[in-house]
Amino acid sequence: MSLSLEELTEEIVRVLDEKKAEDIEVIELGDIDYIAKEVIVASSLGKKHTASLFDNLKSELKPLGIDFFGSDESEDWIVVDMGDVIVHLMTPAYRQRYSIEEFLSEMRSDKSQK
């Protein structure tokens, strides 16, 4: 089964929401030169919850034929590469510290000013 980008995003958000991720944000980047078309950022409730969210994504999305091309894991932050979609699962402290949304917004602004 092959999902469209929109369907994949909806499935990721659904799983994260059902598993109690907080402040789920989808950032569309299809119009700028970036490694993915969309980035999804979500906060976990803590270190163990971060790992649990990642495990839930794998167990629910792999049966749908979704490829996981790679991941980078720490207790506080897991980055998941699904090709057109990159998912960042972060503890609230890491999310605040690294401000992924702000970085990507600045990239979008720079692109629109050119």
pLDDT (tens place) for every residue of the chain, 114 residues total: 578 999 999 999 999 999 999 999 999 988 787 889 999 999 999 999 999 999 999 999 999 999 999 999 998 999 999 999 999 999 999 999 998 888 888 877 766 565
pTM of the model: 0.91
Q: How far is CA 5 from CA 22, 85, 98, 109, in A?
A: 22, 8, 26, 23
| Helix (DSSP H) and strand (DSSP E) numbers for the chain | 4, 5
| Residue with tokens 């944000």, as numbered in its chain | 25
- Domain membership of residue 18 as a residue range: 5-113
Give me the number of domains the chain comprises: 1
For 61, the token pair is: 């999305």
Kindly report the CATH number assigned to the domain that includes residue 95: 3.30.460.10
Q: How many CB atoms are located within 10 Å of the residue 16 CB?
A: 21
DSSP code of residue 13 = H
